[in-house]
Structure 1
């Protein structure tokens, strides 16, 4: 934070008003067993519901229900092809951790604690009994870090009961727990013509809507910060750029405000035709 204050005081002031446990991995509790700071899971789900946003509430709920039915079936098909103690995504991450384990050196205290040193001189204390490491990756992600994996290999070398390394991974990453999450199925429903009639005298009317010009927007409205970020990244903004007329080719105005004479304008001819005439490929 001190380095950030020297780099940008406004950013430092903005971050100090936000509790650290909401944005800094160093202050995460570990209860979620995840160090992800993104909302990609919600964004993907939200993207698939674009077609249901402009529909009536019952129709929109039916669209969501049918989508979830198909989503669960696709996951079940994928699960039937999986084999292993942990999920495929966890297996891919765990294999990378195993490769990094060879870079560590171990010093055992004779009990359940180890002193592990890495390539760059970083030294961490690992408590295998409490399943904790000073780097906190084991606590946050639920997977043994490279320091813990080095300790597991040292324990196996000293004839200690270690078992399969995947047994030290938190249960949230187990394939069995993933299957339990999707064991509940959504019940299919009959069509609207077979739904029971309601005896409630209250009649719900649609909200008043004023028709506006143009096609109705279906995408959600982006915030000012998001639009500013997109402009900086993709250079969409025309701020600071000089306008070029598409009719006469001069700068300082656009085609709509062009007052040049027709004889001096090049807009009466297409750009490709004008280039061919300049090369002399079109006879008089």
Structure 2
């Protein structure tokens, strides 16, 4: 591991070389930015400068955040047989919502197109082919219709 300055490190591992910036909480592997937890490269850099790794994790991973998330009561969802059904005359029907499924914008089916567009010749001369069977131009031997 090489230290560039007080915040940047170059960590060399079997995977390759990674640059870690502990001030901005980022690593070139992007795992620290994506997951909010220091990656192995960042942990190596933090431990080398004797920093507490736990201080560099996102706050959502702390015990205090966990306790705050589950501090209120979570009510169970009743069985589907106990769900209310709304009818058109029901005054509470405004609480229900309607799902609208729109057709796709394109009518063309997905997948590979049936025909490929012809390439432009850009002024190039076309190649003249000769049949090796009848010695005429314009077709190959496999397409020759001349009787033997």
The TM-score with structure 1 as length reference comes to 0.26
The TM-score with structure 2 as length reference comes to 0.48
Bigger strand share: 2
Higher RCO structure (Cα 8 Å, ≥6 apart): 1
